[in-house]
Amino acid sequence: MHWLREVARRSPGYMTRIGLGTYIDPEHGGGKFTERAKDDLVRRINFEGASYLFYPTWKLDTVFIYASSTDEEGNLSFENEALVSSNIALVLAAKAHGGRVIAQVRRVVPYGNRPASEVRIPGVFVDSVVVDPSMMMTTDVKFEPAYFGGRRLPLSELPPIAMTVDKVVALRAAKEVRKRELSIFGFGAAADVPLVMAEQGIFEKDGLKNYWFTTEHGSYGGIVMSGWQFSANLNPDAIVDGIQQFDAIDGGACRFAALAFAQFDRFGLVNVSKFGAANPGAGGFIDIAENAQRLVFTGTFTTGGLEVAFAHGKLRIIKEGKVRKFVDRIEHITYSVLDGVRRGQTARLITERAVFEVTTEGLILTEVAPGVDVRRDVLDQMEFAPSKVADDLKLMDEEFFLDMARPSKGQLTIVNPYR
């Protein structure tokens, strides 16, 4: 999104320190995911004695965007959308170089019937409009007014969260959330944290006002949604443009971040961008991780067939996952947690059976689940040994392993690709 702004300004490119030492750095592949990727789209440069990543700009011929409404002159507004994303940046980037803008909208409204302050993209920048009254809002959700403030959905209508390892991880991670600290959540198990907090009743009687939640997509307030609805917040207070959101992220406004992890290695490196046959990329992960003060990485201890059982507040491993996530060397460098800790960040890894603190000396095992054998279920499932097992090794709260889901009217469906 910041790169698009540089395209719109007709500048030679975008320069940033974010991403140095990760897979986007030319010294670690330059963001090339396949053998067919030959072009060097990212350069490592020196400016006033410091290293930076430089992304050269190029012209955009045609861009496709979406909005809620248009009038006969092509003026666009986003009053019924869950996010604005990079639509404005795309438009200005295309127009700076004579490109075309094609917009998809829900409806056409009469010219002049909206306040000018609601029009986010002037019609002078729009070449063509396609009207689709039934266009999707998010993946698997056709239209949900509670995602943009069109209605306030009582939190009691959220469906109960299934008792899975993801829920255990989210319950433990929720203990790290502080009141009145802007907290940003990533895709995956991390996004379940606000949902389990809602299920616990923490937000009752206006309690939600004390918790400031956001995501990389620009929704502020309300409840961060998980799964394929991750781009939306339920009952948001505000929705900002994507570029402004990454200005806030890069400026350190989000002091606490809960993010997922796919692999973690002995060198303090974390991977979410490429593992096995999956090439999901990083999304906003690197910007978020590099600029937060407190980091929590969430995920299961192993994956690929992991089966567990919960009984009497304890965890039992029925079948271990085939794939280890604590590995000797990760496949892809998404972020160096160790470098962050050296800069003053704090970081924890939270799984269903163990909690680690990341220090400059390595991982310290600080908590284990009740019912878990430390040697068999934790240490023997790692390809490297933690630097230390805490002398006062604690048990995770037994309540994390009890299925205590509240009753729910269940009028809102959450589609989670991880369940």
The per-residue pLDDT for range 278-313, each reduced to its tens digit, is: 888 999 999 999 999 999 999 999 999 999 999 999
Share of the chain above pLDDT 70, in %: 96
Instruction: Give the helix ranges, DSSP H, for 292-347.
Output: 337-342
User: Where does 225-265 show beta strands of DSSP type E?
Assistant: 233-234, 238-239, 256-260, 263-265
Which of the following is catalytic: 6, 81, 199, 216? 216
Q: How far apart are the first and last CA of the chain?
A: 31
| pLDDT confidence of residue 415 | 52
The per-residue pLDDT for 404 is 60
Q: Give the separation between CA 177 and CA 189, rounded to whole angstroms.
A: 15
For the residues 132-155, what does the mean pLDDT come to?
92
Percent of the chain with pLDDT over 90: 88
Q: Supply the pLDDT for residue 161.
A: 87
What pLDDT is recorded for position 189? Answer: 82
Mean pLDDT score, 222-227: 92
CA–CA gap between residue 211 and residue 194 (Å, rounded): 9
Domains of the chain: 2-56 (no CATH), 62-135 (no CATH), 155-401 (3.40.1080.10)
Q: What is the DSSP string of 8-55?
A: HTT-SEEEESTTTTSTTSGGGTTT--STT--S---EEEEETTEEEEEE
Pairwise pLDDT comparison (264 vs 189), residue with the higher score:
264
pLDDT at site 414: 52
Q: What is the pTM of this model?
A: 0.93
- Is 216 a catalytic site residue? yes
pLDDT tens for 77-123 read 999 999 999 999 999 999 999 999 999 999 999 999 999 999 999 99
The overall average pLDDT reported for the chain is: 94
Quick check: 243 pLDDT over 80? yes
Beta bridge partners of 64: 102
DSSP run (H or E) holding 348: strand 346-350
